[in-house]
Amino acid sequence: MFIQTEATPNPATLKFLPGRPVLESGTLDMPSKEAATQSPLATRLFGVANVGGVFFGSDFISVTKTGGDWQQMKPAILGAIMEHYMSGAPLLAESAQPTDAVGDEFFDAADAETVATIKDLIETRVRPAVAGDGGDITFRGYKEGIVYLNMKGACSGCPSSTATLKHGIQNLLRHFVPEVVEVRPM
C-alpha cells in the first residue's frame, strides 16, 4: 500500500491520500480524542503523540498536529493508516454519522432562492477547491446579507482561512449573488 502525503495551506495539517476511497459520502471531522471514538482509524491516529485532529474526506485523511515535528510524526501516522487498512477493520463505528452539507441551517423562507444559489456555488465551486486543501466548508446560514459558513479539517484554524473567506469566497458569492454583503465563519 502506497500512501501519498500533501501539504495544506495550514502548516499544522497534513493531508494523507491512501489511494482508495475513505468515505463514500459526506465528511467526518473529529477535532478531539473523544470525537475519534466514531472511528477505529481515528482512535489509532490519536494514539500518535501530538495528533490534535482527524478529518475524513472522500479520498483523503487530514491530520492536524498540536505540536511536534511532521518529520517525526509522519512515519507513525503512515503506519497507523496502513495497519488500519491492512486489518480490514471498518473505518467507522456503527454509530458514526458522516456529515453532509445539510444540517442545522438558518435563513428566512423569503430568502430561499438566494440561499439555493449560494449553496449551489459552495457545492460546485468552493467545496472541491477546499477539499483539495484537505478540508471542507459547509453552509450554515444566511441573514441580512451575511453568509455563515462552517470550516472543517485543514481549514479550521488555518492562518489563511480568513483570506480564503474574505477574498475568495466572499468575492465569488458577491459576484453571483449581489444580495451577499459579507461571509463569516461559524
- The chain-wide mean pLDDT, for the chain, equals 88
72 and 134 both lie in a single domain: no
| CA dist., res. 33 & res. 69, Å (int) | 20
Q: What is the reported pLDDT for 101?
A: 45
- What's the CATH code of the domain at 40? 3.30.1370.70
In which domain, by residue range, is 49 found?
4-87
| CA dist., res. 34 & res. 159, Å (int) | 25
The CB density around residue 172, as the number of other CB atoms within 10 Å, is 16
Sequence length of the chain is 186
pTM of the model: 0.78
Q: How far apart are the first and last CA of the chain?
A: 38
Nearest to 78 by CA among 65, 88, 63: 63
Does the structure show a pLDDT above 80 at 28?
Answer: yes
- Per-residue pLDDT tens for 120-170? 999 898 888 888 778 888 899 999 999 998 888 777 766 677 777 777 888
Does the structure show a pLDDT above 70 at 102?
Answer: no
- If one counts the domains in the chain, the total is 2
Whether 67 is covered by a domain: the verdict is: yes
Whether 97 is covered by a domain: the verdict is: no
